[in-house]
Amino acid sequence: MKKVKLEGQESPEQIEKWKEEHENVFAIKFDDCISYVRKPSRVELSYLMTLQADPIKLAEQFFKKCKIGGSDKIFSDISYMLGASSVIEHIITVKKAELGKL
């Protein structure tokens, strides 16, 4: 079976370069295209958290700031934007902490 190249699909070499530069690189894949994003910086995350009341604006700003390559369908088609926005919570992870009284 022949593998079909997705719109926006980058070479393994390019992906390795991004991983060296950004450390945390993620692929957001659809059936016909793929986009690549990096984890937001602390400053970017602080800004994004101010947009929590407007999830679509938050997603749009996240992708404007953190998209590093691939397809632009997440900007031109709202169905892709909404689909991609559903994975943001997996990119911005929170470490579990424990509190102990001393």
Would the CA dihedral through 15, 21, 26, 32 be positive or negative?
A: negative
E strand or H helix at 34:
strand 34-38
Tokens of 70: 């691939």
pLDDT reported for residue 3: 72
pLDDT reported for residue 2: 61
- CA gap 85, 58 in Å, rounded: 9
Beta strands in the chain (DSSP E): 25-29, 34-38, 67-70
Domain boundaries along the sequence of the chain: 12-88
| CATH superfamily name and code, 12-88 | rbstp2171 (3.30.2220.10)
pLDDT tens digits, 18-74: 999 998 999 999 999 999 999 999 999 999 999 989 989 999 999 999 999 999 999
Total-model pTM:
0.87
Average pLDDT rounded to a whole number, residues 93-99:
87
- CA gap 69, 67 in Å, rounded: 6
Confidence band (pLDDT; 50, 70, 90) for 1? Answer: low
